[in-house]
Amino acid sequence: MPGSLRVETRQRLDGRRAAWDGLVADQPVPSPFLRSWWLEGVAPTDTTFVLVLDGERLVGGLALQELRGTGVRRWTAPGATVLCPDHLDALAAPGHETAVVDALRGWLARPGQRILDLRGVAEDALLPRAVGAGAEQADVAPFQPLPAPPDTYLAGRSANFRRSVRRAERRLASAGIGHHRVPLAELPAAFEAFASLQRGRDGRGPLLAELPTLERALTAGVAAGEARVDVLASASGAVAVSFAFVVANRLSLYQVARSLDGAHDGAGNVLLVAVIEDALTAGCHEVDLLRGAEGYKASFADRSRVVGRLRVAHGAAARAQLAAEDAARRVSARLRSRGP
Q: What is the pLDDT of residue 69?
A: 63
**Is the CB of residue 46 less than 8 Å from the CB of residue 65?**
yes
With respect to residue 299, please indicate whether it lies within any of the assigned structural domains. Answer: no
Pick from 3-12, 211-220, 329-338 the range whose average pLDDT is largest: 211-220
Q: What is the mean pLDDT of residues 68-96?
A: 91
Same domain for 23 and 77, yes or no, is yes
Half-sphere CA count of 315, side-chain side, radius 13 A:
16
Pick the more confident residue, 73 or 265: 265
Q: Within this chain, do residues 328 and 267 fall inside the same structural domain, yes or no?
A: no
Q: Give the residue from 131, 88, 62, 180 showing the smallest Cα distance to 322.
A: 131
- Does residue 295 belong to any structural domain of this protein? no
Asked whether residue 3 carries a pLDDT value surpassing 60, the answer given is no
Residues 96 and 154 in one domain: no
- Residues 199, 252, single domain; the answer is yes
Which pLDDT band, with edges at 50, 70 and 90, does 72 fall under?
Answer: confident
pLDDT band for position 1 (cuts 50, 70, 90): very low
* 64 domain residue, yes or no: yes
Is 301 inside any structural domain?
no
Domain check: are 279 and 319 in the same one? Answer: no
- Give 4's pLDDT tier (boundaries 50, 70, 90): confident
pLDDT of residue 47: 95
- 269 in the same domain as 160: yes
User: Domain for residue 291, yes or no?
Assistant: no
Q: CATH number, domain at 237? A: 3.40.630.30
Preceding omega of 150 cis (within 30 degrees of 0): yes
Q: Are residues 194 and 256 in the same domain?
A: yes
Has residue 297 been placed in a domain?
no
pLDDT at 114 over 70: yes
**Whole-number pLDDT of residue 116:** 95
Can you tell me the distance from the alpha carbon of 130 to that of 107, in angstroms, rounded to the nearest whole number? 9
pLDDT at 166: 97
**Domain, as residue range, for 29:** 6-137+306-338
pLDDT band at residue 244 using 50, 70 and 90 as cut-offs: very high
Number of domains in the chain: 2
Is 142 a member of any domain? no
> Is there a single domain that holds both residue 133 and residue 151?
no
Query: Are both 177 and 256 inside the same structural domain?
Result: yes
Do 152 and 274 share a domain, yes or no?
yes
Q: Is the residue at 13 inside a domain? A: yes
Instruction: Give per-residue pLDDT as tens, 146-198.
Output: 999 999 999 999 999 999 999 999 999 999 999 999 999 999 999 999 999 99
Q: Give a three-class secondary structure readout of the chain.
A: CCCCCEEEEECCCHHHHHHHHHHHHCCCCCCHHHCHHHHHHHCCCCEEEEEEEECCEEEEEEEEEEECCCCCEEEECCCCHHHCCCCECCEECCCCHHHHHHHHHHHHCCCCCEEEEEEEECCCCCHHHHHCCCCEEEEEEEEEECCCCCCCCHHHCCHHHHHHHHHHHHHHHHCCCEEEECCHHHHHHHHHHHHHHHCCCCCCHHHHHCHHHHHHHHHHHHHCCCEEEEEEEECCEEEEEEEEEEECCEEEEEEEEECCCHHHCCHHHHHHHHHHHHHHHCCCCEEECCCCCCHHHHHCCCEEEEEEEEEEEECHHHHHHHHHHHHHHHHHHHHHHHCC
Q: What's the per-residue H, E or C state across 78-93?
A: CCCHHHCCCCECCEEC
